[in-house]
Structure 1
Amino acid sequence: MLRTTLTRITPLLLVVALFSLFSCSSDDAIDNLSETFFVRHENADMPAYVHGNATEKTFLIVLNGGPGGFGLTYRTETFIETIEEKYAVVYFDQRGSGVSQGKYLEKEVTVDLMAEDVLALAKVIKEKYGDDSKLVLMGHSWGGTLGTATLLKGQEEFIGWIDVDGAHDPKGMYLEYITNHAKIANEQIVLDNSVDYWETVLQLVDNVSPTYNEDNFFDLNREAFTAEEQLAEDDIINEENWEDEIGVNYNVFMALWNSGQILKILTNNGLWEDISYTDRLSEITVPSLIITGKHDLIVPTKFAQEAFDNIGSEDKELLIFERSGHNPMASEKELFAAEILEFIGKIK
């Protein structure tokens, strides 16, 4: 895979905001931004919602999970009251996600193209707020796949990388699901926790193909979510609390349609069979914070350790949240926000 420079990204266009019109004048209230613009790139129009304090011109770009999640899912009261108080946060609806729109061929939708979308967003931010803007990239789950691909194409645009339960190796997830599901099930059975349930997990593992099978992959993925709910019920991890989420104000039908479609498209284009960036992690040299929940079954903790061991940055840190599964921003919210602020404060 050849590195693609930002000069290949054309054309870009700022479009009318969803909720208000804005200009780039010096009168902008940069200490309390609340702006929405669209990035147009390769036949897609993708909204970016910018909220928070931009007085230091430091922007945290959030890449949601999925594929097919919503950018504003992460804009909870905790984010607003902590991270946005200090820095501006850019919640981005990726191609085929949220209320993004476009007309393009399904076969053209690749991780590489979506990484170029993120670099287009970075360029727009710098054109709007100034070339001296400092960008920190954060990807959660599938956002870790997309973020890794983005850095491999243009890490010079960013001052830091935050990988939250990220999947830099989608191709490796199938076999790791089999191994990790069995490991966790056996551990919980030994502890006499919900034995009947965990025995059904072992039965599932015993009945899946030892080589990649799409139906089996999604069976294992769905079971990972159910298993984390069981861990929370047994008080192994904290229950996730998304109740203070106030940012999701989407056209729900459009967002859900997009979600199903982009997942299908990327799956058909080989996301879970062909994509792995493990061998290229050494090329990433920006300061990096890697976060994982100790009991993550959706993107097992092995991948966080692997990212830490292989990433090329001399300034890197691995944090394991003891009471979390896949979503530490919802299960250990205050700690999560504090670690994000500490990292950005150190590198900006």
Structure 2
Amino acid sequence: MHRYTLNLMKPLLLVVALFSLFSCSNDDEIDNLSETFFVRHENADMPAYVHGNATEKIFLIVLNGGPGGFGLTYRTKTFIETIEEKYAVVYFDQRGSGVSQGKYLEKEVTVDLMAEDVLALTKVIKEKYGDDSRIVLMGHSWGGTLGTATLLKDQDDFLGWIEVDGSHDPREMYSEYTTNHTKTANEQIALGNSVDYWETVLQLVDSVSPTYDEDNFFDLNREAFTAEEQLVEDDIINEEKWEDEIGVNYNVFMALWNSGQILKILTNNGLWENISYTDRLSEITIPSLIITGKHDLIVPTKFAEEALANIGSEDKELLVFERSGHSPMASEKELFAEKILEFIDRIK
């Protein structure tokens, strides 16, 4: 793993309703929280699953990828046995994700609104567990986009920011796909790895429009996942192994329906054509840890390097996981958990 280190709002009024499904507020239970509450904001009811040790009043909010992933996907055995042993983790089903519910107009669903949802969650945490609660925000993949948007609205309640293979610049994903697919294919062909496959990747790149095209975008996105599977097969990266609890905690049919809908809505509302936060990254001034897999083809490492260069914090660091693609928490689990704990331990 390579390590690169650089040492160098507005108030938001929200009406939030809190529905506790399991009450667990006694002091003698704070070291082993296991409860669910719903955040109601702008006609959406969004569940937050809280697990772990809150004796230090530190809460790690996890923003899933997608758009449309499931919050509890990230609650693996490694998270439970390491991170939750020391700190509380909040696995959040975003608007339109997991088993969140609501009745709202599609045209109203924007990244900005979903960032306000996250800020609503922080207010509920402080109301429920105490105003002295300290919050670290972590976003993976699409969660990196959402987390960036959240911090640009209000970062006062956050102790630190962890971006994992996330993109602050969805608008640039299309052009970076063509660039990175070409680069990776040529590298693998030069090494003699799965030459026939990588030549088909080059053919795909040659066939797509040079400017954004929705169908071409999703063709390139799907190929990125297939290409990472090929890298696993050729022993360039580790296989991703998720040990989730979706079967226990989710209505899977509802979660899959939500997933397809929120991706469609955000795409129709211009996520991949119009959203870019690159020019505003300097506004993020809290301690920041940026993590990327060296061989990430879904959100190429360019975005992590760009985040390191542009985030305005005097305390920022980039970690590159050598044997990972898009999800180091699933391909280098123990190392990932170790680095998350090191970061929180240092900034608390």
Contact 2:32 2:53 in 1 (8 A): yes
Structure 1 runs (4+) deviating above 4 angstroms are: none
Equivalent residue for 2:23? 22
Deviation track 1:113-156 (CA, whole Å, cap 9, x = no partner) reads 00000000000000000010000000000000000000001101
Query: Which deviates further from its counterpart, 219-228 or 26-35?
Result: 26-35
Aligned equivalents of 2:319 and 2:147: distance in 1? 18
Alpha-carbon shift at residue 188 of structure 1 (Å): 0.3
Cα distance in 2 for residues equivalent to 1:156 and 1:246: 32
- Alignment correspondent of 2:244: 245
- CA 1:200–1:292 in 2, change beyond 3 Å: closer, same or farther? same
One-letter amino acid of the counterpart of residue 155, structure 2: Q
Helix, strand or coil at the partner of 1:156: coil
- Secondary structure of the residue aligned to 2:18 is coil
Q: Indicate yes or no: 2:16 matched with 1:12.
A: yes
What is the match of residue 168 of structure 2?
Answer: 168
Structure 1 position 15, deviation (Å) = 1.2
Q: Which runs of 5+ in 1 are unaligned?
A: none
Per-residue CA distance 1:185-214 (angstroms, 9 max, x = gap) = 000000000000000000000000000000
Secondary structure of the residue aligned to 1:238 is: coil
Which blocks of at least 5 consecutive residues in structure 2 are unaligned? 1-8
Name the CA shift for 1:23/1:87 in 2 (closer, same or farther; >3 Å). Answer: closer
- Show the counterpart of 1:218: 218
- Within 2, Cα distance between the matches of 1:28 and 1:184? 53
1:85 matched residue in structure 2: 85
Deviations 1:86-128 (A, max 9, x none): 0000000000000000000000000000000000000000000
Q: 1:14-59: per-residue Cα shift (whole Å, max 9, x none)?
A: 1141xxx3154x4460000001000000000000000000000000
Alpha-carbon displacement from aligned partner over 1:172-231 (angstroms, at most 9, x marks no partner): 000000000000000000000000000000000000000000000000000000000000
Give the distance between the partners of 2:93 and 2:246, measured in 1 at CA. Answer: 13
The whole-number CA distance in structure 2 between the counterparts of 1:251 and 1:145 is 26
Q: Give the structure 2 partner of residue 109 of structure 1.
A: 109
CA distance in 2, matches of 1:206, 1:152: 37
TM-score when normalising by structure 2: 0.96
1:57 and 2:57 aligned: yes
Work out the CA distance in 1 between the residues paired with 2:239 and 2:36.
Answer: 32
Is this contact kept in 2: 1:161–1:286, CA < 8 A? yes
Q: CA deviation at 1:246?
A: 3.0
* Aligned partner of residue 193 in structure 1, secondary structure: coil
Alignment: residue pair count: 339
User: How much has 1:164 moved relative to structure 2?
Assistant: 0.1
- SS of the aligned residue for 2:17 comes to coil
Q: What is the distance in 1 between the residues matched to 2:322 and 2:273?
A: 31
Amino acid at match of 2:16: L
* CA distance in 2: counterparts of 1:42 and 1:4, whole angstroms: 19
Distance 2:79 2:246 in 1: 10
The answer for the alignment partner of 1:74 in structure 2 is 74
Ranked by relative contact order (alpha carbons within 8 Å, sequence separation 6 or more), the top structure is 2
Distance in 1 (alpha carbons) for counterparts of 2:192 and 2:47? 48
Determine if contact 1:76/1:247 at 8 Å carries over to the other structure: no
TM-score norm. by structure 1 comes to 0.96
- The one-letter code matched in structure 2 to 1:12 is V
> Partners of 1:168 and 1:138 in 2: how far apart?
13
Counterpart CA distance in 2 for 1:239 and 1:46 is 31
Question: What's the secondary structure of 2:241's corresponding residue?
Answer: coil
Task: Indicate conservation of the 8 Å contact 1:68/1:260, yes or no.
Answer: yes
Matched residue, 2:126:
126
**Structure-2 separation of matches of 1:16 and 1:285:** 33
Kindly, what percent of the aligned residue pairs are identical?
83
Instruction: Tell me which residue corresponds to 2:318.
Output: 318
**Structure 2 counterpart of 1:334:** 334
1:131-150 matched pairs, under 5 angstroms: 131-150=131-150
Classify the secondary structure of the residue corresponding to 1:45: strand
CA distance in structure 2 between the partners assigned to 1:231 and 1:4 by the alignment: 45
The whole-number CA distance in structure 1 between the counterparts of 2:126 and 2:52 is 16
What is the CA–CA distance in structure 2 between the aligned matches of 1:83 and 1:343, rounded to whole Å?
A: 11
| AA in 1 matched with 2:35 | E
Matches within 5 A, 1:188-207: 188-207=188-207
Matched, 1:278 2:278: yes
Aligned 8 A contact 1:75 1:247 in 2: no
Q: Distance in 1 between matches of 2:145 and 2:197?
A: 31
CA RMSD of aligned residues (A): 1.0
The corresponding residue for 2:4 is none
- How much has 1:245 moved relative to structure 2? 2.3
